[in-house]
Amino acid sequence: MIRLGSNSITRAILLKKHKIDFIQNGGSFDEDSITTTDPKSFVYQATLGKYNELIKKYGCNDMPLLVADSVVTSQNKLLRKAKDAEDAKRMLELQSGSETSVITCMIFKSKEKEIIDISITTYTFDKFKEDDIKQYIESEECFGKAGAIMVEGFCKPYIKTVKGYESTAMGLCVEKLKNHCI
């Protein structure tokens, strides 16, 4: 059993799908306190901030702690979670017909191991249809997702190429977690 230090529903679904027992206890780290615009640096700082908050609160003696964060980058821009429909539309239009990378950082800490990993999955997308963008934004599924993308949903029919694990793009590289931590 591990402690998932994340409020993400998608990360919880990934762990369930891979039959990893967990309890979920997210934190309240303020990502807006991070000033860097470098995607790798940002995702590492966000994950480390969450980790430091949760390791103080829970430790890892009773149960290993797993913390993760993800960001999206397209056309050399850092894309975080959309603030509103206009922001989501801007992000989706930037990624439409472009190469987009999802960068996920995870920190796993148990009594025996401490692992820090940064994984990247890169997609090349076809041009998104305007009507599909509109419906996706109206569904509100784009909110709470880095870059407003959902590779297992909205983006799936637009994927031309992929390099990396889909789980990384969904917020947690489960393959590396299983191989190195559990």
- In angstroms, what CA-CA distances link 33 with 45, 105, 119, 142? 10, 18, 23, 23
Q: Which position among 30, 69, 117, 132 bears the catalytic label?
A: 69
Active site residue 69: yes
Contacts of 156 (CB under 8 A, 6+ apart): none
- How much is the pTM? 0.91
Long-range interactions of 134-139: CB distance < 8 A, separation 24+: 136/92, 137/85, 137/88, 137/89, 137/92
Three-class HEC string of 79-148: ECECCCHHHHHHHHHHHCCCEEEEEEEEEEECCCCEEEEEEEEEEEECCCCHHHHHHHHHHCCCCCCECC
Q: How far apart are alpha carbons 23 and 40 in whole angstroms?
A: 27
Quote the tokens at residue 136. 């996706």
> What tens-digit pLDDT sequence spans the chain (182 residues)?
999 999 999 999 999 999 999 999 999 999 989 999 999 999 999 999 999 999 999 988 889 999 999 999 999 999 999 999 999 999 999 999 999 999 999 999 999 999 999 999 999 999 999 999 999 999 999 998 899 999 889 999 999 999 999 999 999 999 999 988 77
CATH topology of domain 2-180: Maf protein (3.90.950)
Scanning the structure block, which residue is given the tokens 């050399």?
76
